[in-house]
Structure 1
Amino acid sequence: MKMKKLFALLLTAAMVLSLVACGGGNDTAAGTGDGGEDAAASELTLGYDFATDTEHFGPVYDEWSDLTDDELYAKVQEEGGTITVYATSSKMLKVVEPFLEDYPGLDVDVMDLDSDEVLSKAEMEHDSGNITADVLQTKDVNGAVFYEHYQTGIFEPYYPTDICSHIDEDLLKYSLPLYSSQSFWYYNTAAFPDGQPITSWWNIIEKNDDGSQKYQIFCKEIGTETAYLSLFASFIVNADQMEQAYEDIYGEPLEYTYDASDFAFEVPENNAGVEYMWRFSQLKMTFIDDGDELALAVHNSTADKPALALASAGKIENRDASGYDIAWCIGLTPYTALLNCESLFVAAGCDNPAGARLFIRYVLGGADGTAAGYEPFQKEGNWPVRDDMTNDKNPAQLDELGAIENDFGAIYSIFADCQDMWTYWLNQNPNM
């Protein structure tokens, strides 16, 4: 869905667009009020319930939530069949062997797919009624998964009570998270031995006294990367924070230079996030699709020609594996990144509902966080979301990164307009 009233959306986001919840595997629970007062008490309401004039933010607990591993195992043995997993990480394949050792007699099939394939296959299976998948792993960065697959009943919620008691409830609003990951700006540690050269997003677009660009910028094309464009959209939503960050650095009010009248849809005047997108879109940038090559570009840069590259946190592995002089820039103002989470879902109407939930519990580390299923995901650049688990491979813990939680309601509603603005302005860039 593409909205063409950006300013109005920004004004009403807190009141209307954030009326979201996790839940529901059937059409009567899709937040339309179709269930009415006769809806069964066990139905999970999504978003705003007009019948009761209430809103619900996840998590949603149901009859599955309190079942133990042993109780689920017994049900899985009754179900029979193969637990089929559509995963976006090849690391999920490494979960199969220990899972089958701990739960003999079961059968698991993991398919390693990209995110678009997971979503499209799940949608086609749901629409045809021929559902193969039981467990679905994917990442939502702009609300599309939540609104177009979760709220529509293609995915259904599962919130195990004991495990969720160890996860910040704010991270449970839209899904059950497996781990968190971000994209960071990388800098060259040899060029900047005293530490990261930037402390704010505004520093990234600074110019030298002669008007030349201060940093070489390497990144994927922002307009085609949903995660990156969602981050830029968040600056528009949080314009007051962006404006304050500018004033804190430079000691004077931000000057607005973009033309809001360029577009057929309404763009807010004097929005610091829009101003940032405009200025960034006019930089000289080198677009590189491969994350490892982005890391290499930073490694090859010098103090005389300093570079910054935006890439996933996991690309830090090149530092040890290939000897790259690279490190993350964290603690940026107004915030470093969005807390994007890989999440686990149950396919609505699947053949193995107990098996799906047992496997999900195992991947999340089980009741006490010690199950072997989480071990493959303990890599540098991934952060556990459970408060009883840590990843010692990371130099900074999740609460030290300066990242914020994603507001899917606001981001989803302005995402298409942000993409239009970025594309239009990028086409005007004289440096590209």
Structure 2
Amino acid sequence: MKKKLFALLMALVMVLSLAACGGDNGGDTQAPADSGTSTDTQAPADTGSDTGSDAGHLNLGYDMNTGENYYGPYYDDWSDLTDDELYQKALNEDKDQTITVYATSSKMLKAEEPFEEMYPGLDLVVADLDSDEVLSKAQIENETNNITADVLQTKDVNGEVFHEYYSNGVIEPFYPRDICTHIAEENLKYSYPLYSSQSFWYYNTEAFPDGQPITSWWQIIEKNDDGSQKYALYTKEIGQETAYLSLFASFIINAEEMAQSYKDTYGTDLEYTYDASSFAFEVPENNAGVEYLWRFTQAEMTFIGDGDELVLAVHNSTKDRPALALASAGKIENREESGYNIDWCINLSPYTALLNTESMFVVSGCDSPAGARLFIRYITGGADCQSGGLKPFTKTGNWPLRDDFVDEKNPAKLADLGARANDLVSIYNIYPDVQDMWMYWLNQ
């Protein structure tokens, strides 16, 4: 059944967040008045993962003091165990001291030998899978009670992992308290992060030697006085890219910011031109995010599936025929490796991008709950950020979210780029409708 977009935008967080929590399981924990948005319940540390299918609900609730919903970080007795304490517990666990990781990044394989050297007696097995396999295998194992994995690494950009796997107890949270003090709480809301990435609009630095030619998303689709399109646009097909479509969905959720961005850019109020009556579901009238989606779909775009070719198109453009391309941040490496005249467009209004965060989860009911948590601490840097676990993931375009991590790969700090954390509850509930709008309008 189609979701009612207008209703979601009117009562997005209060009603639907509680619904996602599964009723009583999500609302029976009250956050202390001085705890901000975090919870602190006492789950015995020696119980392994016997919390069962309710585990994913533990960091969802309602704060009676503020009248707001809260999510993570969720702290339990596991959160305060040290590396050595977890190590000793892991040595006494079942499964021949084997810790199995389902990962969506092949770089996770590089953790096997150094982790085993640091923790003798433990055997780390990493399965390199695509994102669909990671989730489907975990789901099947949960349903059949034949669980192999202990740790799951994946990315959630539209709320699917949070709502359909995490909140349903297939995977569960682990927030090491000492490490979390080094991570902004907005980045702990839905999961415990490994690192974040994002995409940028690229421009040609030779064509625009004074700096990026745009400062807002509205200028990307700007037209010349004669009605022609100002920039040639290159991107992957956004309707097939979950992260990109989620970004457009966020513009609809943050419609007031989009409207203000337009006024700040052009000095006049936005005029609405889209037809909301074309759909079988309700589309809000006079929504600046919807208006942007409509106008963007009507722009001339060239879809290219390869990121290197996207930034090459920008490199080959000129001031007379300027181009912009939306591609992953890591493609900036072509500037040094291939001599491309490219750079990121940063600090666009109302915001540059959404953070795409790779996260670590414990598999509910796993055989090695202590070993799983020890590995998660290791791979995210350990207590002092010196474990070496983050090293395989340290590259241009990846930003570990710890404030004590020294980033020597990226040309700019994450805080200086204008991206923001993803609101997975809001995105999840309107994502299908936004996808339908994109596909319908793109074909007009």
Whole-angstrom distance in 1 between the partners of 2:333 and 2:139? 34
Aligned with residue 59 of structure 1, among 73, 77, 87: 73
* Structure-2 separation of matches of 1:391 and 1:89: 20
Tell me the equivalent position of 2:91: 77
In the TM superposition, 1:105-144 aligns within 5 A as: 105-144=121-160
Q: Please state if 1:283 is matched with 2:299.
A: yes
Q: In the aligned structure 2, how far is the partner of 1:294 from the partner of 1:140? A: 24
Q: SS at 1:345's partner residue?
A: strand
- 5 Å-filtered alignment, 1:412-423, equals 412-423=428-439
CA deviation string 1:19-70 (max 9, x = no partner): 499xxxxxxxx532269989x9646635347999984321111121111111
Q: Structure 2 vs 1, CA of residues 34 and 381 (structure 1 numbering), >3 Å: closer, same or farther?
A: closer
- Residue 15 of structure 1: CA displacement? 2.5
SS of residue paired to 1:419: helix
Matches within 5 A, 1:26-425: 31-33=22-24, 42=43, 45=58, 47-48=60-61, 55-79=69-93, 80-425=96-441
Q: Which residue of 1 aligns with 2:32?
A: none
Give the letter for the 1:240 counterpart. Answer: E
Structure 2 SS opposite 1:337 = coil
TM score, norm. by length of structure 1: 0.92
Aligned-pair Cα RMSD in Å = 2.3
- The one-letter code matched in structure 2 to 1:32 is G
- 3-state SS of the aligned residue for 2:78? coil
CA contact (8 A) 1:31 1:48 kept: no
Q: Retained in 1: the 8 A contact 2:63–2:70?
A: no
SS at match of 1:214: coil
Change (3 A) 1:426 1:208: same
**2: CA distance, partners of 1:65 / 1:86:** 22
Contact 1:189–1:195, Cα closer than 8 Å, also in 2: yes
Distance 1:351 1:310 in 2: 43
Partner residue in 1 for 2:4: 5
Structure-2 separation of matches of 1:370 and 1:145: 29
Equivalent pair of 1:298/1:307 in contact (CA under 8 Å): yes
Q: Is the 8 A contact 2:18 2:27 kept in 1?
A: no
Q: Once the 2 structures are TM-superposed, how far is the Cα of residue 322 of structure 1 from its aligned partner?
A: 2.1
**CA separation of 1:36 and 1:279: change in aligned 2, threshold 3 A:** closer
**Unaligned 5+ residue runs, structure 1?**
22-29
CA contact (8 A) 1:31 1:46 kept: no
Aligned residue identity for 1:372 = G
Contact 1:219/1:286 (8 A) holds in 2? yes
State the distance in 2 between where 1:34 and 1:327 align: 47
Q: Give the Cα–Cα distance (whole angstroms) in 1 for the partners of residues 26 and 360 of structure 2.
A: 27
Q: CA deviation at 1:81?
A: 3.3
Distance 2:28 2:289 in 1: 43
**Contact 1:132/1:350 (CA < 8 Å) preserved in 2?**
yes
Tell me the SS of whatever aligns to 1:186: strand
DSSP 3-state at the match of 1:84: strand
> If the length of structure 2 is used for normalisation, what is the TM-score?
0.89
1:277 is paired with a residue whose SS is helix
* Unaligned 5+ runs, structure 2: 30-40, 44-50
Aligned length: 418
Question: CA shift at 1:18, angstroms?
Answer: 4.1
**In 1, Cα distance between equivalents of 2:373 and 2:333:** 32
Q: Is the 8 A contact 1:383 1:390 kept in 2?
A: no
Q: Partner amino acid for 2:16?
A: L
Distance across 1 between alignment mates of 2:404 and 2:59: 30
CA–CA distance in structure 2, aligned partners of residues 349 and 277 of structure 1: 43
C-alpha distance in structure 1 between counterparts of 2:89 and 2:60, whole Å: 31
Structure 1's 207 and 342: CA in aligned 2 closer, same or farther, altered over 3 A?
same
> % of aligned pairs identical?
69
